Structure 1
Amino acid sequence: GKQLFNLVVDDEHVAARIVRHLQRSGKGRVTCMPLARLRPRGPREFDERAHPDVTPLSSQLAFHPSVQNAVLEVFGSVLVCKDADTARKYALPPAEGGMGMDCVTTDGYRRNADGSIFG
């Protein structure tokens, strides 16, 4: 979602300086993700043998360990699914037999836990 375009910074002091600069200059707005403050939920634990048709997106990404919390904040609750039917199943709320996860397929279909669908 929108978090993909957030600016990752070391801490809230850097974020505050950037925001102040943008406010003074009138050049726009930005949302900062201070690494020192991020406490992502991370990928949900599940038995991959029991769910061979999905994989956590974050496990498929290469990134420097210093930005792990930012990667997990943005992608930690996203599953890569083999097809649209699988994405629909895993996006359903747990009360309806799903996992309540945002899902994407390799061909670009997206089904979010909030019910939104993108093709």
Structure 2
Amino acid sequence: MSKINLKKILTYGLVVFFIVGAVGNLIGPEKILEDYARWGYPNGFHLVTGSFELLAAILIFKSSTRFIGSLLASCIMFSAILTLSYHAEYSHAFIPLIVFMLLLVSIYLHKQKKLL
């Protein structure tokens, strides 16, 4: 029986999360465009966010770039948490907060691997 590799599950889960987020932002359905407008971001900013999310997913996927990808993704999630908190949308900040914490775990595990 093979062991369940929690680091791989974490990695692939983060990659999928950021790919889904990137696709949603890059396609830009009306709901997302309304959200960005309500938050005061300029037209087209969803494309910037989506591009960074896609880049983060690609970087997290590859072991040699996972650290920098996790840092980029952490910045994206921290920005989302700040935006949602500033606009008092606290219930929507829950998922970015969880993902941010998972990214911190990913960064920690990556650094632990380098130390061994």
* Alignment TM-score > 0.5, same fold: no
Length-normalised TM-score, structure 2: 0.29
Greater relative contact order (Cα < 8 A, sep 6+): 2
Larger radius of gyration: 1
Select the structure that is richer in strand.
Answer: 1
Select the structure that is richer in helix.
Answer: 2
Length-normalised TM-score, structure 1: 0.28
